Amino acid sequence: MSSPPTVLLIGDLAHTNKDWEALGSNYKLLEFRKGTREQFLENCRNGTYAEVRGCYRSNVSTAITGPFNQELVAALPESWKFIAHNGAGYDNIDVEACSARKIAVSSTPVAVDDATADVGIFLLLGALRQAHGPLVALREGRWKGKLRLGHDPKGKTLGILGMGGIGRAMAHRARSFGMEIIYHNRRQLDSSLEKGAKYVSFEELLAQSDVLSLNLALNASTRHIISAPELAKTKKGVVIVNTARGALINEADLVDALESGQVSTVGLDVFENEPEIHPGLVKNDRAFLLPHLGTSTVETQHAMELLVLKNLQVGVDQGKMLTLVGEQKGLDWAPEEVDF
């Protein structure tokens, strides 16, 4: 009788510990909830993980193992074929290195769409209404403080850079406020997904947007996709919202544009070097800021953890995946995607 396949939990679980433990009836469960990068690498070298087929990788596990960069991926045993990552963003995994090893990587789109888009709309409204200053004044006993009049979303053009699940969820909500939607993507969507949104070039998106929302993945080609040259091409007084990854924007250039008035206000949930934030953003009362709360709801994080577990099971049991990362789709060795 063959032994059950081995799977590894890296990092902690908040909502699905019982679901993880239940997998023990079909798999050999290993855990690395705490430790250091060197301890993890040593486990890879000394045979502790010699039979691991796949892992559940918590999004906060980077604090334990460091990024899954080329060094770490190279150390994984030959048996390791699947990385089920908890997070819509996966810039802390070297997907190219994984692909070279034919290790499939999944993320958690869909599960994060609604919560992230909710925060995006919250930031959009807070930025349009210049909410930061009055909120601070209220808590300091100054009532509204030096109130600046804000703007209504109705009739404004929302430009979405990255019309994936989160971008479409953002567009759906923005329509309720009477906003016109334009977008730019790697490719134009089918009209059934556009739902009236207009596909435009990147240059047109910059020039036409009253509010520019970033909803795309961070990778080598999108890092600093919004920098001084792009900001100079936007409408004077544009509002910028970012719920994706901070390094999509050159933060120093954004501060300059905010101070000059080229950008009127910003609504940011992510930052280039978080948890550090550029002091020019912190001190500017036209910056409406949140500390990366996009998926911080009980329901969403529970759904994300369940999706990761399902990806791990489908990978190990069937050699397929539910939500393979985009860079690996279509590769000749890549696992087939199945519906969930």
Indicate which residues carry an active-site annotation: 245, 274, 292
Question: What angle (nearest 5°) sits at the alpha carbon of residue 15, between those of residues 11 and 18?
Answer: 90
- How far from 71 is each of 38, 67, 77, CA to CA, in Å? 12, 9, 13
Our CA angle for 164, 167, 170, nearest 5°, is 150
Cis peptide before 275 (omega within 30 of 0): yes
- Please answer whether residues 74 and 103 qualify as being in contact, where contact means their C-beta atoms are separated by less than 8 angstroms: no
Rounded to whole angstroms, how far apart are CA atoms 305 and 77? 25
Q: What is the DSSP secondary structure assignment for residue 333, as one 8-state letter?
A: T
How far apart, in whole angstroms, are the C-alpha atoms of residue 17 and residue 280? 41
Q: For residue 254, what are its two tokens?
A: 């954004």
Q: Return phi, psi of residue 260, to 5°.
A: -80, -15
Q: Given CA atoms 306, 307, 308, 314 in this order, what sign does their dihedral have?
A: positive
Count of CB atoms situated within 10 Å of the CB of 314: 23
* Dist. CA 193–CA 117, nearest whole Å: 16
On whether the CB atoms of residues 84 and 61 are closer than 8 A, the answer is no
